[in-house]
Chain A
Amino acid sequence: GQSLEQPSEVTAVEGAIVQMNCTYQTSGFYGLSWYQQHDGGAPTFLSYNALDGLEETGRFSSFLSRSDSYGYLLLQELQMKDSASYFCAGLRRDDKIIFGKGTRLHILP
């Protein structure tokens, strides 16, 4: 089967750090991506992990552990504009992309 599980909502404070988790059961798995989607907008790519470990891009970091079928997205120095939904997505070896249901991030001032 193919599924990716994410908590439905997370709340954090402006300026703080937040971690959003993703666990998956995906056959033929190749890598894990993260996308951001603001209300009314299209999903936009944030990061991709093909190998175990941490990938850092500015305030955003993404982690993958294949042995644990687990990944997370870490956002630092939270800003109000980071309020959005965040989706993990599994990339299969045949290039099919499957999305989780997403975590809605609420940021408090």
Chain B
Amino acid sequence: GAGVSQTPSNKVTEKGKYVELRCDPISGHTALYWYRQSLGQGPEFLIYFQGTGAADDSGLPNDRFFAVRPEGSVSTLKIQRTERGDSAVYLCASSATGATEAFFGQGTRLTVV
């Protein structure tokens, strides 16, 4: 595709529910990143993939958060038992091998009520 695509753009869910956020990176990009951004803050690192494997998942806040990238392209961020504190914009970015520029999607705004 022309850019990084994230779906849905907005998600409202009830506390305690399970949600999945999808990221479709730029074709051929091996690195894929997930960030969480709260209002007025910088993107907070969650996890990043090189190909199919999670190269670094040290930013995942707890075991309710999990992400996969089974075929080295599309990635899904999964959040179990959502809490109101999970409300934020979840950003996905991708980059080519050895590249210094990451391309971001428009994000998914998650609201937990």
Binding site for B on A (CB under 8 A): 31, 33, 41-45, 48, 50, 87, 91, 94-102, 104
Contact = CB atoms under 8 A, between A and B. Distances in A.
B56 A44 contact: no
Contacts of A95: 31, 48, 50, 55, 95
Interface of B: 31, 33, 35, 40-45, 48, 50, 55-56, 91, 93, 95, 100-107
Contacts of A96: 45, 48, 55-56
A44 to B, nearest CB: 7
Contact of A48 (B42, B44, B101): B101
Nearest to B98: A95
B100 A87 contact: no
Nearest to B6: A42
Nearest to B50: A95
Nearest to A88: B42
Given A43-B91, A95-B48, A96-B56, A101 B42 contact: yes
